[in-house]
Each structure stands twice: as C-alpha cells, then as structure tokens.
Structure 1
Amino acid sequence: MGAGFAGVACVRRLERRLTDREALITLLSPFSYQLYLPLLPQVASGVLTPQSVALSLRRSQRHRTRIVPGGAVGVDTAAKAVVVRTISGEYVTEPYDHLVLAPGSVTRSFDIPGLAEHARGMKTLAEAVYIRDHVIAQLDLADASNDEAERAARLCFVVVGGGYAGTETAACLQLLTHNAVKRYPRIDPRLIKWHLVDIAPKLMPELGDKLGSAAMNILTGRGIEVSLGVSVASVDEESVTLTDGRVLPSRTLIWTAGVAASPLIGTLGAETLRGRLVVSPDMAVPGLDGVWGLGDAAAVPDLAKGEEGAICPPTAQHAMRQGKALADNMVATLRGEKTQPYVHKDLGLVVDLGGMDGVSKPLGVELHGMPAQAVARAYHWSALRTNVAKTRVMTNWLLNAAAGDDFVRTGFLAAKAGTLRDFEYTDAYLTPEQVRLHTASFRGGAVEAG
C-alpha cells in the first residue's frame, strides 16, 4: 500500500526475490509513478519539469506487480481485506495474506482560522505545479493592476515551516520571482517580499547551529525575511495574521509545517506513537497477523541511535532502506526463516537552496555554499531509481543553467483554490462501520486471499 520510497523499494525487492509461484504482488497507488519528493521545490520553481521527478512504475522489464489505480481508504484486519477508492471513484475490496502499510504522510495542519480554505501545500506533484502557476499568476496580476494595495498583497509571499521542505521552497521560489520580475517592467523588484515563518527557535535545527546560521545568512542575503518563534494566527483571502500581531497583506500562504502520518493509520485501531503506527524492530505490527508498517506512517525503532524510544525520522533515506529490509523479512517469513531488525545509521543531510547555494552535512562533514549544493545535487541525482530519470534531471539542470526559464503558466486548476484538501484527499477515509460494509463477504474466511 503506497508507491513512495518505502513501498516501491519493498515491491522491487519482492519482485527480485520471489518467483511467480511463491507470491502474487499487488500495489495500491493512485498514480503509476514514484515521486522523488525532495526535488519538488525545483519543480515549483521551474528548474525541473514535473515528468523528471515522476519515476514510472511500469518501465522495469522485471515488472510483474499488479497495480490497482487507487488509494486505500480503509482496512479490515479481521477480514484481511483493504477497501480501495479507485481513480474513477469506485470502491473495490482487495484481500491479502500479507499487508505492507506504506501510505506515507500528509501535510500536518492545525485548527487555524482560514487555513484549510487558503493554504497551499508542497507535498504532491500536482501541488508543486499548481504553486508555480499561482506564483507566476500573482506577478501577472500585480503587473496589470493599478491598485497599489492589491499589487503589494500579490507580491507578498508567505511560507510557513522552517524545516527542509519550507526552507528549500522559500529559497527556490524566491529565485523564481527574482528572475521573473525582469520580464515585468511595471513591477519594482523591491516590492516583492518573501517571508519564512516557523514556530521553532532555530532554522533546520537538525543541521546544527553552524549550518543553520549559514542557511539563515543565505536566505536573508536574498531578501527573505525569516521570523522564528512565530506562527500563523489566522489567514483570509487578502492577508496572513501572525501570532506576534503582524498582519501581512498577502494572497499566497504556502504551508510546509511538517508532516503527519496518513489518516489511514488512524482507522486501523492499532497502537500509534505521535500518529505513526507502532511496529516492532522487524517492522511487523504487533497483534495483527500478516501486517507490516514502514516509512513516514510507521514508528520504526531507530536501533542505530542506541537511545531508548528513538524512532527513525520520516526521510527518504530511511524509507528506501526500510522497504528493502521489510521485503527481506517478508521473504524470510514465507520461507520459515528468522526476521531481522532494521538498523541503519543516518548518512547525513543535504539541502539545495537553488542557484549556487546549499547547506549539507554528509557523513558529519559540514558544508555550505557551492560545495554543499554540489553534494546535494549529486546525492539526489544518484538516488534517482532509473537511468531515464537521471538523464531527464541532469538535462533539466543543464538547460535551466544555460537558457533560464520562460515563466509560462499552464493554467492548471486556474478556477479552483488549490487547497490542501483539494490535493491530498485527507477527508476520503472511511469509518470502521463503512469498511465492514465493504468487506462483509470476506469476513469469516469466506474468500481465500490471494
């Protein structure tokens, strides 16, 4: 369940290790591609095309997995069946012997007045494409307007979240507007304002004080105003009100304030830790026969840290390795062998701030500026799963460096607000009673699972 880093790594490993006679593999995913999420800010800023970060699941010659085009909206562990809402809006029920829960995460939001109606996210490919269109549209509308107040509001952009996603989003999109404004002679570049807001006292605290300060200097050097220890109090169509009392006239609020496990996890009735599914070190779910969990949606113990209660952070690095380790444990279970605990020492962090800037900490070595950006791009490039994707990304980087951007809007979702709910379908999940209605024929062992 899920075609993110964890789910795809698990499926690919199972395809290699199990024969057709040993197992039938089914993948539940609304899209037939794996999204390389860390590069989304570069899609939003136009450096990369959307196709270059969407890695097809059907290109592999070894592909034999049945892909169901839909998202799981409920699980009945007693009936060993999953309810799936397909992309056509129909509900189908899929039986299982072993279930791998890798539904990933959604943007974490709070009960802030106006947030659900006016915030945009940066979690899906569609959101990145929409954000790019929206930002360019604000420049177009500001350029055409004769109302100074409207121009100021359209040229003020607010990004909430001082983690990797928020920092990279603010940095990359600020470069977009900085370069695009040269094509708008009626807009004074000094009118364009970017604000990065986060409730935490430090920017990207996982990087340490030195690199956090380096990132802060890069952002402020570009004119981005960073406000720490502050959050959003309310938002409406024309302004964002912060908790320190400031009111920012703005038509754009990009919300990247962390992630939360998929709402699907909350429908299982299993034990959770801060919203993530509790699993044992081998990633099996205690008390649920044949159910496994990993990735952003699971609280996988981080044994490499040596700290009691430590769990793996929701990063691509861990998700990919967990997928392979879980596949090996499933194979061991099927063959009557012993499973192994997941152990992986974090290799470091990379942050691409666009242009020639970055901050990185590979293997504990602190870098900033151009060397850090080179390391960040080299890491992302090497982590892409297919040679086709690597070729597309490298070509995009070279073309953008040589020719720049034409700042073209596609008109994607031009007539809709493009809110978090529109893209992440967080209200699509069924209640336990609704799930049981769909799985009634599977309960009591009436149907043999495949």
Structure 2
Amino acid sequence: MARPRILVVGAGFAGSAAVRRLERKLVPGEAEISLVTPFSYQLYLPLLPQVASGVLPPQAIAISLRRSRKHRTRIVPGGAIGVDPKARICVVRKITGEIADLPYDYLVLAPGSVTRTFDIPGLVDHARGMKTLAEAAYIRDHVVAQLDLADASLDEKEREARLRFVVVGGGYAGTETAAALQRVTSGALRRYPRLDPDQIKWHLIDIAPKLMPELGDRLGTTALGILRRRGIEVSLGVSVSAVGPDEVTFTDGRVLPCRTLIWTAGVVASPLVGTFDAEKVHGRLVVSPELRVRTLDGVFALGDAAAVPDLTKGGDAVCPPTAQHAMRQGRTAADNIIATVRRQPLRRYEHKDLGLVVDLGGRDAVSKPMGVELRGMPAQAVARGYHWSAMRTNVAKARVLTNWMLNAVAGDDFVRTGFQAQKRATLHDFEYTDAYLTPEQVREHVRALTARA
C-alpha cells in the first residue's frame, strides 16, 4: 500500500509542534510528511516586541525548521491559497509565484492568524502592524528614524509629529509593544541632546474599559500604573476614527499630530479558513475534541484556525488562541493522525491554562502563573524563564539568553539597518491577505488539473 501523505499547513506554534511529534513518533517510511510555510522558521511571536525594541535581533526568535527537524519532512516554501477537501488537494502559491498542487490523505490546518482591521479611513494606508518578523524589524528602524529626523529638523510641528507614537490595542501585544518601545525612546534622550524629553509622547489606546482584563483587576491595575508612571498616556474606551500620514483622530474627538501608529487591536483566523464550506464560530472552524473537522474527512484544524472545545470549562467554551494551547493542540493532532493511520483510538484535547506572563521591559512585569499573582522582578523572572524554556532549540535559547544579558549590560545602540527603508510597511503589506482563491476557483483549478492528467 502507498504511504499515507500528511500535509501540515503553517509553521507557527501549532504546525511546528505537529511536525515535531509526527517525526518523533512515526516509524521511518510509515508516512510522508510535508510542511507548507513561506519561511523555513518558526516565529516565536511573544517576543516580537523585544525585536521591535532592539533587545533581541530578529534571528534570535526565528527558530530554524531545518535545524530542529530530523530531515524527514519536506518543506514547501509558499502559502496555501485554497483546498479542495473532496479531491484532497491543497493549492499552494510558492514564494516564486508558481502554483503547486499537493495531494494529501491527512491535512493539518494551522495557518495561524492575520491582523484584524476595521473600516477606518486611512488605517490600512498609514498604520503599521506587529504580526510578522519583518514588521517588527521595520518598526524598529522606523522609530529610530523618527528620532533621527526630529533631531535634525528645525520645524517644531514636524518634530512634534515625529515624536508622538500611538499604539492601538490594550492586549498583551499592544501593551508590551508600547512598554518596550517607550523604553527605547526614553533611553535615547542622552544620545540625542537636541530632543526635548517633554516632546516624546506615547499613547496606548483601547476600546475596552480595562487593560488586559485576562490578568484580573489587580494585575491589570498594576500594569496600568507602571505604564502611566513611565509617562505613557493610556486611554481606555477610546479607539481611532481616522488615520492620516501625519495625524490621527481618536473617537473622543482628539486630533493629534503623529507619524507613527502601531495597530495591535487583535487578530482573526487566516483567510484560508474562510474558503472552507464548514461550520465556523467567530471565523474559526468548529472541530471535535479530537481536533477533527467533522464535515471534512481527513482534515484536522488547530491553533488560531479552530474553535477547539475547552473541556476544562465545559459548555460552549472554546480554547483561547494562545501559544500554550497551540503547541499542545499540535501534539494532539499529530497523535490522532498517527492513531488513525494505525487504526487506534483517538484522544481528546484537554489542557488547563497555565497562566499569563507580561514583560514590560527592564524590571517591570506582571505574571499570573497557575493563578498566582506576581509583580516586579519575580514576575519578570517567570516571564523570561517561561519564554526561554519554550524556545525549541539550544541554539535559540543561547541566542536569546546572550542578547538579554548583553542588552542589560550595554543598553541600546539606536542603529537603523535601512534594509526596508524603500519598502511600504503599512498594514497587510507583509500578510498577503488578498492571495486566496474562492472555493469555486479551487474546484475549477482542480477540474482543469484532472483534465490535463
């Protein structure tokens, strides 16, 4: 009999964990494993703010798939743009632009998420995202460039606009991004003697009434106090109504000069999920506790792409799209595919949340491991210890630890690479959200493929 073909779409926490488990537990030759991903690395997403702030270089959180694999997985450099579940064919656009058709017997859907946006005038044209490694590197260059340009400018209005930074989104990504980058600009003052400290202004805004409500009232209030003591103006119950090239308008009527708006107001499942004719909840595929899409034979969905029942809470609760769930779902999906191949019973996914960590830079942090509330250095030790232990290779761990120590001792050099100075880097420029085929286009493509064969 032909070996079963297992195709994994996405190399985030869920997809990478699934591939690792498959390679570890499948007997050599028992199945063919393929992984579709634009880049041959797993991005450690929680540390993106530290790349944007220069604490870590990009390579430190880009964990090589080829280094960590046993070379039994075929890596296809591209993105899945459509799937025909009946024909069991995944249509892939390679990074060269070529179209490839990958047949499969079992499909692991872990394409991750994209930045959530709204119909706000000027948002996609002028805001920056913080979802990809390239965006974090660009924001680092952009913020340092604003300091350089403001230092060189003789126009007070230009200086005011360049030295005002707005971050939209009071979740973990937005809070950590604002905290990390504010430390960069604050530390820059002694390097830029012509800059007026009072002109450097950071704003963190969110439409929600509380900052990071998942942390609870006390830790959320602690984090809010830390940010405000640093001089970050936090506005809750407020969002953006319009964005221009040199100003931003808030929903409370304020119009502020601003050349930097960083948008971190949540994520939605990859547009690939929307191409499936299957039940969804808030844009995520409904799956069984075994992570199977019931109406699509041979398809498993996990991570940001799936509404996975949270068996620890019962009822209609679904697991939050966090890294700790995604990694464990990846392992469960791999185990269930192997069990299916070997005609063994499947197991249900069940995991009790281990807690949350928020690194605010320096000695500031708030953490809630196993329900225990921590602040300051103990919380920072837990946050960084958790992130360090979650890195999947010893090389990645060494890079991260070395750069943490170096930054703590030497500080920031305020260097711009200039690699992306001539490239637009507004929302969606790095996420390619318009690249997907409709189900009808996929079926037509497969019919044409069959006819040619």
Structure 1 stretches lacking a partner, 5+ long: none
User: Paired residue for 1:192, among 192, 200, 221?
Assistant: 200
Say yes or no: does 1:231 pair with 2:233. Answer: no
State the secondary structure of the residue aligned to 1:58.
helix
Q: Residue 83 of structure 2 aligns to which amino acid in structure 1?
A: V
How do 1:314-329 residues align onto structure 2 when only pairs under 5 Å count? Answer: 314-329=321-336
- State the shift of 1:443 in Å: 5.6
Aligned to 1:98: 106
TM-score (norm 1): 0.97
Say yes or no: does 1:133 pair with 2:141. Answer: yes
How do 1:281-300 residues align onto structure 2 when only pairs under 5 Å count? Answer: 281-300=289-308
Runs ≥4 residues deviating over 3 A: 441-444
How do 1:42-441 residues align onto structure 2 when only pairs under 5 Å count? Answer: 42-60=50-68, 62-306=70-314, 308-440=315-447
- State the shift of 1:221 in Å: 0.5
Cα deviation 1:119-146 (Å, max 9, x = unaligned): 1111110010000000011111111111
CA contact (8 A) 1:272 1:278 kept: yes
- State the shift of 1:413 in Å: 2.0
CA contact (8 A) 1:93 1:438 kept: no
State the secondary structure of the residue aligned to 1:419.
coil
Question: How many percent of aligned residue pairs carry the same amino acid?
Answer: 73
* Stretch of structure 1 that moved more, 199-208 or 400-409: 400-409
Provide the alpha-carbon RMSD of the alignment: 1.2
State the distance in 2 between where 1:345 and 1:40 align.
25
Q: Residue 346 of structure 1 aligns to which amino acid in structure 2?
A: D
Say yes or no: does 1:34 pair with 2:47. Answer: no
State the distance in 1 between where 2:254 and 2:133 align.
32
CA contact (8 A) 2:68 2:392 kept: no
Q: Residue 101 of structure 2 aligns to which amino acid in structure 1?
A: T
Cα deviation 1:142-185 (Å, max 9, x = unaligned): 11111101100000000000000000000000001111222111
Say yes or no: does 1:22 pair with 2:30. Answer: yes
State the distance in 2 between where 1:379 and 1:323 align.
19
Q: Return closer, same or farther for 1:305/1:168 CA change in 2, 3 Å cut-off.
A: same
State the secondary structure of the residue aligned to 1:304.
coil
Q: Return closer, same or farther for 1:165/1:269 CA change in 2, 3 Å cut-off.
A: same
Q: Residue 383 of structure 2 aligns to which amino acid in structure 1?
A: A
- State the shift of 1:416 in Å: 2.8
Aligned residues: 445
Cα deviation 1:219-250 (Å, max 9, x = unaligned): 00100000000010010101110000011110
Q: Residue 144 of structure 2 aligns to which amino acid in structure 1?
A: I
State the distance in 2 between where 1:111 and 1:249 align.
21
State the secondary structure of the residue aligned to 1:305.
coil
CA contact (8 A) 1:27 1:67 kept: yes
- State the shift of 1:310 in Å: 0.4
